[in-house]
Amino acid sequence: MTNRLSHTDMADELAKLIYSKTTWLADFSHGSRKRPDHEIEQKRRELAVLQQAYEDYSAAAERRAS
């Protein structure tokens, strides 16, 4: 069994994933490299999930710190 990540580590990793997803959307949601609409909507939904998880883990990390 692997070691569980701390809430802070989870928030840090989620922030990286959010950055990656945001960059993908900026690069591929319009213009000549635009991906199909269903892909863009899927990435936006994934981004929303990541952002919510980030907020939850950040709040948990703050609670543990205090």
Does the reported pTM lie above 0.85? yes
Contacts of residue 21, Cβ cutoff 8 Å, sequence gap at least 6: 43, 46, 47, 50
Count of residues for the chain? Answer: 66
Distance CA 47, CA 45 (A): 5
The number of domains in the chain is 1
Domain span holding position 49? 7-65
Look at residue 34 and tell me if it is in a domain: yes
Q: Tens digit of pLDDT for each residue in 8-65?
A: 999 999 999 999 999 999 999 999 999 999 999 999 999 999 999 999 999 999 999 9
Q: How far from chain centre, in Å, is Cα 17? A: 4
Look at residue 1 and tell me if it is in a domain: no
Distance CA 62, CA 54 (A): 12
Distance CA 3, CA 43 (A): 29
